[in-house]
Structure 1
C-alpha cells in the first residue's frame, strides 16, 4: 500500500501537467484585433524617431514599421527622416493563431539631420548623388564571397570556412548584377541583367533555377520596382541593412537583412545568416560600379618597424640544448584579434586555461640540433577541420582522421635572429608542424584537413621577458589583418 501511495504521488503531478497542456491547446483562442493595438510617441532625440509599444504581451510580436524597417518584441523604434504618411503594422501570435493591427503615422517635416549621416552618405553618395550610388560584387578580389560560422567564430566577422577566389563564380549571375542605393526616399534598385545567384536550398522559390557549374544555383529573375532600404543602428552591434521584399544583394540565402561589417568609400562588406541553415553566415564584398581596384595612387609605404625591445636569441629558445615550452595558463595567452598581441575577438580577455586544459598542457620542445617536438600529453582540443568534434578529447581520436598529422610528432625548426627592422622568427617545418594552433598558417587557416605536406609555418617573436622567460609569438593568417597570438613559458623539468 505504501508503494502504491508513493506511485500515485509521483504520477498525479504528471497527469495534472499533461491535463494542463491539453487544456491550453484546446481552449486557446485566437487573438483579437484589440490584442494587436499599440501606441507610439516621439523620442527625445527627434520627433522623427518614434517609439512604438504594444498594448498586449505575446510570445511572438512582429512589426512592419512602414519605412522598410522591421522589428520584433513588445517595443520597437522607427526612424523617419522624410515627411510623409507611413503605415505601421503589428502582428501578434498566440497558440490559437495570429492577427495584425495597423495605424498611420504622419511625419510632418523632414529632418535633414537624420539624412546627413556618414553611413547614409557612404552608402548612397549623399544628397548630391541624384542618380544614387551603384555597387557591384568585387569579383577580382579573393574573398569577395564566402561562408563562416554563426554565431561568429574565433576569427570574428570573417568567412573563415571558405573564401571564393577571384572570378570563381563567373557565369552565376553574381558578377553582372548591380545594386543602387538612393538617399531620396531610401530607394533601392536591383538590376539582375537576367540572372541571380542563390543558395541551393532556395531553388524552389525561383522558377527555372539551374546549376551554373560553379556551385549552388542560378535563376532568371527580374526584381520589382519601388524597392527600399533601411538601416538600424543599435548600441553594441553592427549596423543592419534591410532590403524590402523582392530585393537582395549578391547571393540569396533566404533573408534580406545584412550586417554591415565594413562600409567605406570604395568597399561594402556584408554578413548575412543562412535562413535554411542558421549555423552558418555568408559574406559578400562590394565596390562601387565605376571603381577600379588598384587604380588609385599607391599609398606611401609604412616605415620599417623598429623593434629595440625584442631581444630574443636561439639560446633563449633552446636553452642548454633542449627547452620545453607550453602556453601560459592565464588570460591573454591564447587569442585572435585585428593586430598582434590582441585577443579582442576571442577570448576577449578571458582566461580559458581551465576550459581548454587539454590545450594548455601541450608541450613545444626545441632542440639545439634543429629538431622540434610536439607532445600533446595524451589529449587534444578538437575542432571540425581536424575531423573530430569541438572539445577536449583523447589524442587517439585523431587516428584515422584527416587531422591525424596534427598529432604528437617530431619536425624540424629554424630560427631567424631579429634586426633593428625585423622581428625574430621561429619557423617549424613538416607535415602537420605547428605551434599551439594547428589550423593557422601564414596567410590562411585550414577549413579541413589534412595539412599540406612538409609545410613551413613562421611565427614572429613579438615579445620576450628575460626575467620570467615569457615568450610571445604571433602569426598573421589573413590579408584582412587577422592575427593569432600565443604566450609561452618554459616548463621546469
Structure 2
C-alpha cells in the first residue's frame, strides 16, 4: 500500500508540473508579441562620380562611382546590361570607345526583405587609347586557352596581390572542372570588338556559384563543398563585346558580359604580364573582396 501511495503522489506531481508548463506556454503565446517594424526601402540614395583627369577625363576613360543610401545592405551597379554587386558601394568603369561619348550607369541600393531603390546617372567621357599592335596580335591572331600544363596558371589572393598568394594551381589541378577545354576568341580590334567564348565539348564552365547564377541563372549545377563554386556549370558557347584601355598605364580588357577561365561576374581584366603568345591577367570578385589570376596562351 505504501508503494501505491508513492506512485500516486509522483503521478499527481507530474500532472501539476505539466499543467504549469501548459499555462506558461499559453501565457507566452497570448501575451508575448514580436513586431519586426515596417519594411522600408533604402532612402536618400546618392551616387558621386569621379572622372579621372576632371572634365571629360584625361583620355584614359576611367570613371569611379561611389553610392550611399540609408538602410542599404548591398549595392548593384548596372552598365550596358551587366550587373555587378559591390558591397562597399564603389565601382570603377573603363570606357574605351575612342572619342567623347555619353555613358549611363545605374546603381541599385538593396535593403531588407528584398526592397530596392535605384538611381542612374549619365557621364560624358573622353577616350583616346590606341592599343599596341603586339597586344592586338596576341588577342586576335589565334584563340586563347588556360595554360593548364603550367604551374600558377590559376590562383587567388588579396585585392592588392599580383599573383595567387593564397592559392596557386599546379599543372592540371582543375582537370575535373569545365575550364580547360574552353577557348576564347577576340575579333580584330577597331575601337572595340567581339568576344567569343567556346565552352568546349562538355558545354561546361568553372566559376563562383553566385557569379555564374547572377549572369546566367540557377541551372541546378552542383556546388562544391569548400568554396561555393560550380566546377561544371552548363553553359552554351556565347558572344559578347570587348574593349581595350589602359587606366593608369595598366592594359585592361573589358568584356561586357563574359569571362576568362574562372567566372566572378567581372569582365574587367588587368594584364599584368604578356609575351608574344601569352597573357597573365587579374580580375577581382566583389562578393569576396579578393583577386583572381589566370594564365592564358594561344592555341597551337
Q: How many residues align?
A: 235
Gap change, CA 1:287 and 1:63, over 3 Å in 2: same
Q: Say if 2:167 is the partner of 1:150.
A: no
Gap change, CA 1:196 and 1:37, over 3 Å in 2: closer
Distance 2:95 2:268 in 1: 16
Distance 2:180 2:221 in 1: 17
Q: Say if 2:296 is the partner of 1:286.
A: yes
Distance 1:53 1:41 in 2: 13
8 Å contact 2:138–2:278 — kept in the other structure?
Answer: no
Deviations 1:231-261 (A, max 9, x none): 33232x643322112x111011342222221
Gap change, CA 1:26 and 1:160, over 3 Å in 2: closer
Deviations 1:287-338 (A, max 9, x none): 0012xxxxxxxxxxxxxxxxxxxxxxxxxxxxxxxxxxxxxxxxxxxxxxxx
Q: Out of 93, 96, 100, which is 1:79 matched to? A: 96
For residue 139 of structure 1, what is the aligned residue in structure 2? 148
Deviations 1:432-473 (A, max 9, x none): xxxxxxxxxxxxxxxxxxxxxxxxxxxxxxxxxxxxxxxxxx
For residue 124 of structure 1, what is the aligned residue in structure 2? 139
Deviations 1:384-428 (A, max 9, x none): xxxxxxxxxxxxxxxxxxxxxxxxxxxxxxxxxxxxxxxxxxxxx
For residue 165 of structure 1, what is the aligned residue in structure 2? 170
Gap change, CA 1:284 and 1:64, over 3 Å in 2: same
Distance 2:270 2:48 in 1: 29
Distance 2:205 2:224 in 1: 11
Q: Say if 2:254 is the partner of 1:242.
A: yes
For residue 186 of structure 1, what is the aligned residue in structure 2? 193
Provide the TM-score with structure 1 as the length reference: 0.38
8 Å contact 2:78–2:107 — kept in the other structure?
Answer: no
Provide the TM-score with structure 2 as the length reference: 0.59
Gap change, CA 1:38 and 1:268, over 3 Å in 2: closer
Gap change, CA 1:63 and 1:275, over 3 Å in 2: closer
Which ranges of structure 2 fall in alignment gaps of 5 or more residues?
Answer: 1-39, 70-74
Distance 1:27 1:212 in 2: 34
Deviation of 1:178 (Å): 0.6
Gap change, CA 1:274 and 1:64, over 3 Å in 2: closer
Larger Rg: 1
Gap change, CA 1:288 and 1:234, over 3 Å in 2: same
Aligned residues: CA RMSD: 4.8
8 Å contact 1:36–1:90 — kept in the other structure?
Answer: no
Distance 1:262 1:79 in 2: 20
Q: Say if 2:282 is the partner of 1:271.
A: yes
Q: Say if 2:125 is the partner of 1:100.
A: no
Gap change, CA 1:250 and 1:264, over 3 Å in 2: same
Deviation of 1:265 (Å): 1.3
8 Å contact 1:172–1:214 — kept in the other structure?
Answer: no
Gap change, CA 1:121 and 1:53, over 3 Å in 2: closer
For residue 459 of structure 1, what is the aligned residue in structure 2? none
